[in-house]
Amino acid sequence: MTADDATGPTARRRTASVTACPDGPLLVRGDVELVDDRGNPVDRHRATVALCRCGSSMIKPFCDGTHKAIGFEAP
């Protein structure tokens, strides 16, 4: 490992990204810690997660597709 690795493929892979899907969830990729309002870690079951944006998911903070059933339109 050299100092160059900081900008190499490993560093790039860990860069977090959040994608706002039109009228849908926020897709979160990369090294992001999810915590609840007390700071307790929220179990993350997969590399890429979808966070609820419509407020109606039954598995919050994750998306369960309910935005489609309620016709959610993102602001």
Partner 1 sequence: MRLPVDRGPLSAQVRQVLQAEPGSSSASDLAPAAAAALRTTDDLLTDDDVQVTLFVLYELHHRGFEDVDDRWEWDLGALAARGLLERALESTLRARVPVPDAVPPRRRAVADALFAMTAPSPGPSVARYVWRHADREQLVELLVQRSVYQLKEADPHTWAIPRLTGAAKAALVEIQADEYGGGRADRMHSALFARTMRGLGLDDTYGRYVDAVPAVTLASLNTMSMFGLQRRLRGAITGHLAAFEMTSSLPNRMYGDGFRRLGADLDTTWYFDEHVEADAVHEQIAGRDLAGGLAEQEPELVADILFGAAACLYLDDLVGTHMLAAWERGESSLRRPVTAAAEGAA
Binding residues (CB under 8 A) for partner 1: these are 21-22, 24-25, 27, 45-50, 58-59, 62-66, 68-69
Rank residues 11 and 20 by Cβ distance to partner 1 and give the closer one: 20
Alpha-carbon gap, residue 44 to 17, rounded angstroms: 16
Rank residues 3 and 47 by Cβ distance to partner 1 and give the closer one: 47
Region for 23 from its dihedrals, namely left if φ exceeds 0, alpha if ψ lies in -120 to 50, beta otherwise:
left
State the nearest-atom distance from the C-beta of 19 to partner 1, in Å. 8
